[in-house]
Amino acid sequence: MAPFGKIYSYPGSWRVERAQVAAAFNGLEVVYAENFTMQEDNKTPEFLAKFPLGKVPAFESATGFCVAESSAIARYVAGSGPLASQLLGTDPETRAKIDEWSFFTEGELTNHTNPVAYMTHYKFMPLDQAVVDRSTANFQRALAVVEAQLQGGKKTLVGDKITFADITVALALVFSLGAVFGEDILKTAPSTVAWLKELSEMPEFKAVSNWGKLKA
């Protein structure tokens, strides 16, 4: 069966992986575009005609439908198969809670991970310890919200089945906790770590993420 679509991006991005996990739940395949070179192919007239800002990730379906912005891509894939209702919700309240966790991921987890990642993981920016300390404290506060939600052995963030909320929060945390923040932070969130490890054994998740980075 031909892939459902392809994503233009650099390899290993958790933002791409959440679309691939959503695809796996829906029985779809989303692959990386072959022979794509960052800072070259995304600046060509052909690419810019489809994606005017030249940003990645960018998605092109087998039918030629194009959409940019990683959250939009992942939600589109989640809504394009037989488990769309489970992943995105069947009623306004459930959809709102799933969206709440999705926005939380961007606003609280990713926004406070990125400054630290740029300085200590990617080394794009010079180290500013005050920024690192502030971002780390804000991330820990956000992580505590996830931890509280999962205490008591809860398996999912919303309802009793895996939803897009679990996909987007989990993949963001695998990067944050595995590649950016230290083991001391992992130790503050045992319920979250147990939840992540359980998800890592599911075939839909297992194929895409470097779960081995979680050392707790």
pLDDT given for residue 103 in this prediction = 97
Gap between the Cα atoms of 116 and 114, Å rounded:
5
pLDDT given for residue 1 in this prediction = 65
- Strand ranges (DSSP E) for 40-122? 58-61, 66-68
Domain boundaries, the chain: 5-85, 89-207
pLDDT given for residue 12 in this prediction = 82
Looking at the structure, give the CATH architecture of the domain made up of residues 89-207: Up-down Bundle (1.20)
Asked whether 195 and 154 are in contact (CB, 8 A), the reply is yes
Mean pLDDT, 10 residues at a time, over the chain (216 residues)? 91 91 96 94 97 97 97 97 98 98 97 94 92 96 98 96 98 92 90 95 87 65
The class of domain 5-85 in CATH terms is alpha beta
pLDDT given for residue 215 in this prediction = 58
pLDDT given for residue 168 in this prediction = 97
Selection from 206, 209, 204 nearest residue 25 by Cα: 204
pLDDT given for residue 207 in this prediction = 82
Global pTM reads: 0.94
pLDDT given for residue 11 in this prediction = 85
pLDDT given for residue 183 in this prediction = 82
